[in-house]
Amino acid sequence: MAETQPRAGPTLTRIAGGEMAGRVRAFDWSTTPIGAMETWSPSLRLAVDMILATNFPMALRWGPQLCLIYNDAYAPALHEKHPAALGMLFSEHSEAFQASLRTMHDTILDGTSGGYALEKMPLSVRRDGDAGPRIGHFTISYSPVPDASAASGVGGVLITAVELTEAVETERTLRETERRYRLAIEAAGGIGAWDWDVKANKVYADAGYAALHSLTPELVEAGLPVESFTPAVHPDDRERIRKVSLAAIERGGDFSDEYRLVMPDGSTRWVYARGSAYLNADGTPSRNTGVVVDITERKAAEANLLAARADLDLAVQAARMGRWDHNPSIGARFWDKRAREIFGLSDDVENTAETFEKLVHPDDLPALRATLRATLDPAGDGKINQEYRIHRACDGALRWIEISGRAYFEHGQCIRFVGVVSDVTERKETEAHLLLQEETLRLAVDAADLGIWELDVASGLLTWSDRCYAMFGVAPGEPVTVDTFYECLHPDDQEPTRAAIARALDPRLRADYALEFRTVGRDDGHERWITAKGQAFFSPEGKATRLLGATVDITDRKRAELHLRLLVNELNHRVKNSLATIQAIAAQSFNASRPLAEAQEAFTSRILALAEAHDLLTRENWEGAELHDIAARLAVLHGGSARFELAGPAIRLAPRTALSLSMALHELATNAVKYGALSVPGGRVHIRWALAPGMAERLDLTWTESDGPPVSPPTRRGFGSRLIERGLAAELSGEAAIRFEPAGVVCHIRALLDA
């Protein structure tokens, strides 16, 4: 009979201790696709026991729906989803989470993949003593869990996490240290570092140091003897650097030096090496470490600066300038030897601001102070260029000084104020002399009423002074050319002027430009006479470049010359007429019927009257005379103005009319003195005149005598009567009549004014 064994009861899954073990035991798994715990397969039970028994983060996703079971160590990775995530199906996670892991889980469940591993994944973890969860780094593995009851033979996915936090943090710290080390080297301008194990005689260096010494980076990083680096050092520096290195490792401590390295292409690089040498406890050399900085550009800049300073010194010396350099922030002031000489300060005199200001001329000190304040103001451009006067310290001489400089600022404060100073007394004196000469020339030009001009031959542009513009009737300041000049010339003078300019610009002739011509003002239409003189200037090749000169308005002179010619012609005519008049006077005065003495008196009187008329016309440049002046002069010569009554408007007489009328009035006055009203004390003469109406202007003049002796008509007509009635009528294209009234002589004269 077969042995019958008792039927075994349900196998209980042993749950490890911990929070999640309690939660797994208490969870109603019958509500999930994996069913109640009593129905779990042995594989599932084993897997659950395994994850709950370990302190490493582990989880299990079981069945096609990937139902989640996890332990305490895995819980922090779920964040706020814990503890609700227990029993959560994969489909209940976010779409992004599903998209990233669905394919991986599916391929594990269907048996096509043996699993996956994700390295250094960040997860939240909690350690004993931690105030809360922190980020740890893990390698996450996704492995299949075999299950015979599953169709594919795989019942679920086991998720395990191996923590790498300490290794990751160590690696990160190393990388950060290396990064900071490289940044420190780069910040210092460094390009390489070395570490020399003196006892082993091996130098370990980075790629930058290897490249500088033309060595393979891999070999240098592995370590090479110090002699391997020596060939790259410039031959002129090699022995010196060897001694510096030996001295450093013997005494220990910090060291630094500059030297040259020769590159494979033959070029030279300057480097600055700085490091420290370490000694063992017994004082023997141990290690030598440091960095190198490429200072080639700095060395080039220093060389350029040195050359620039040399050039500056030469330029300053050649220009006899002094240099000054101030630091207002600390009150430092430096003047070089030349600057002190300019101000007359000896080397033993302290150069303070007070000393300087005492030398400045009092009239210039306020303006100089204001300029210095503006220059040292950070809000300005910091530039200064100022001229002022000083009384030199050594001899009190008055000198003109010019300074040019610039202020430099840092954090709103002037840290440097540099510049140059020069004695410009000679220049100022020359400028003053030149200004005086220019002013003298200007006064001379103004006094002479000169116009100054310049012709640019190549462009044809003219430069005119204001006086030239006036001479040519063109608005001042308007651009003008040689064509403008020709347009303003009188048509009859254009060709002679062109020819004169052509001769002046001809390099074979180089004739002086001097001529007179007429202009017709372009804007005012006035005709003017101009005299011009100029000179052409030629290039070394003989080509005319400029024509300079001056012009004078001689219009008044030309008019005076014309008037003079007219006067000469008129004088010739008058002289002839006067000679004829004198001849007639002589003929009438000296005749057989009159005694010689009487004849001489009459002749002299008439000649004096003629001379008076000529004097009056001469004072008026023979342009005419006022009738009132003729009558008043007559009154003065014959009895005084008190015995004459003159009345009439102002009338200008032509020279011919004035001369004839003056002679007629003289004859009337002479007769009145001898026989008429002027022969007795109470007698008077009335001369009245007016303009007579008619087609042409005519003069009506009446001579009336009163209060004289009774008058009776003469038995015969004398020379005076004939001169008045016949000669005057013919000379003046008019008429004259004398009436011998008992009360006094009356003479009426009518004459054409423009005769």
Full DSSP string of 601-637? HHHHHHHHHHHHHHHHHHHTTTS-EEHHHHHHHHHHH
H helices of 154-234, where? 165-187, 207-212, 217-222
Q: What is the mean pLDDT of residues 113-131?
A: 66
pLDDT of residue 172: 67
Q: What is the mean pLDDT of residues 674-687?
A: 91
Count CA within 13 A, CB hemisphere, residue 63.
16
pLDDT of residue 177: 53
Q: Which of 390, 345, 343, 344 is nearest to 364 (CA)?
A: 390
Q: What is the mean pLDDT of residues 472-476?
A: 92
pLDDT of residue 139: 77
User: Residue 316 is encoded by which pair of tokens?
Assistant: 């300053």
Prediction pTM value: 0.36
Spatial separation of the C-alpha atoms in residues 331 and 241, rounded to whole Å: 42
Beta strands 652-653 and 644-647 are unpaired
Q: Cα angle at 157 between 154 and 162, to 5 degrees?
A: 140
By percentage, how much of the chain surpasses pLDDT 90? Answer: 37
pLDDT at residue 119 is higher than 70 = no
Q: What are the tens digits of pLDDT across the range 654-672? A: 777 777 788 788 888 888 8
In sequence order, the 6+-apart residues with CB closer than 8 A to the CB of 37 are 13, 29, 45
pLDDT at residue 1 is higher than 80 = no
Q: For residue 287, what are the β-bridge partners?
A: 197, 278
Report yes or no: 324 and 419 within 8 Å, Cβ to Cβ: yes
User: Residue 549 is encoded by which pair of tokens?
Assistant: 């000169």
Dihedral sign, Cα of residue 706, residue 711, residue 716, residue 718:
negative
Q: What are the tens digits of pLDDT across the range 566-585? A: 777 766 766 666 665 666 56
pLDDT at residue 530 is higher than 90 = yes
Q: What are the tens digits of pLDDT across the range 204-228? A: 988 888 888 889 988 888 889 988 8
pLDDT at residue 721 is higher than 80 = no
pLDDT of residue 13: 46
pLDDT of residue 621: 59
Q: Each residue of 312-351: b (16+ CB within 10 Å) or e?
A: eeeebeeeebbbbebebeeeebebbebbbbbbbbeeeeeb
Collapsing DSSP to helix, strand or coil, 429 comes out as helix
Q: What is the mean pLDDT of residues 533-550?
A: 93
Report yes or no: 19 and 72 within 8 Å, Cβ to Cβ: yes
Using 50, 70 and 90 to split pLDDT, how confident is the model at 8? very low
pLDDT of residue 602: 63
Domain 188-299: CATH class, spelled out: alpha beta
CATH topology of domain 19-166: Beta-Lactamase (3.30.450)
Number of other residues whose CB lies within 10 A of the CB of residue 282 = 6
Spatial separation of the C-alpha atoms in residues 164 and 138, rounded to whole Å: 5
Higher pLDDT, 142 or 573: 142
Q: What is the mean pLDDT of residues 75-85?
A: 86
Using 50, 70 and 90 to split pLDDT, how confident is the model at 125? low
Higher pLDDT, 439 or 514: 514
Q: Which of 734, 562, 573 is nearest to 653 (CA)?
A: 734
Collapsing DSSP to helix, strand or coil, 552 comes out as strand
Q: What is the mean pLDDT of residues 333-349?
A: 90
Residue in this structure with the two tokens 């899954």, named with its chain if needed: 13
Number of other residues whose CB lies within 10 A of the CB of residue 413 = 10
Q: What are the tens digits of pLDDT across the range 487-502? A: 999 999 999 999 999 9
Which H or E run includes 25?
helix 19-26
Q: What are the tens digits of pLDDT across the range 367-377? A: 999 999 999 99
The top-scoring range by mean pLDDT among 35-39, 447-451, 730-734 is 35-39
pLDDT at residue 559 is higher than 80 = yes
The top-scoring range by mean pLDDT among 404-418, 439-453, 656-670, 741-755 is 404-418
pLDDT at residue 7 is higher than 60 = no
Q: For residue 273, what are the β-bridge partners?
A: 257, 292
pLDDT of residue 329: 83
**Cα-Cα end-to-end distance for the chain:** 195
Q: Which of 688, 702, 713 is nearest to 746 (CA)?
A: 702
Q: What is the mean pLDDT of residues 413-433?
A: 89
pLDDT of residue 499: 94
In sequence order, the 6+-apart residues with CB closer than 8 A to the CB of 408 are 382, 414, 415, 416, 417, 418
CATH topology of domain 321-429: Beta-Lactamase (3.30.450)
pLDDT at residue 4 is higher than 50 = no
Q: Does the bond joining 83 to the residue before it have cis omega, within 30 degrees of 0? A: yes
CATH topology of domain 449-553: Beta-Lactamase (3.30.450)
Q: What is the mean pLDDT of residues 686-711?
A: 86
pLDDT of residue 3: 34
Query: Mean of the per-residue pLDDT values for the chain?
Result: 83
Higher pLDDT, 279 or 191: 279
Q: What are the tens digits of pLDDT across the range 180-201? A: 555 555 555 556 888 899 888 9
Confirm whether 19-166 and 188-299 share one CATH topology: yes
pLDDT of residue 469: 93
Domain regions of the chain by residue span: 19-166, 188-299, 321-429, 449-553, 591-752
Q: Which of 547, 411, 551, 425 is nearest to 489 (CA)?
A: 551
pLDDT at residue 168 is higher than 70 = no
pLDDT at residue 138 is higher than 60 = yes
**DSSP state at residue 233:** B
Residue in this structure with the two tokens 């004072």, named with its chain if needed: 619
pLDDT of residue 533: 93
Dihedral sign, Cα of residue 240, residue 241, residue 245, residue 246:
negative
pLDDT of residue 320: 72
DSSP state letters, 248-285: HHHH-EEEEEEEEEE-TTS-EEEEEEEEEEEE-TTS-E
Higher pLDDT, 508 or 6: 508
Which H or E run includes 732?
none
CATH topology of domain 591-752: Heat Shock Protein 90 (3.30.565)
Number of other residues whose CB lies within 10 A of the CB of residue 607 = 16
pLDDT of residue 14: 45
Spatial separation of the C-alpha atoms in residues 568 and 55, rounded to whole Å: 146
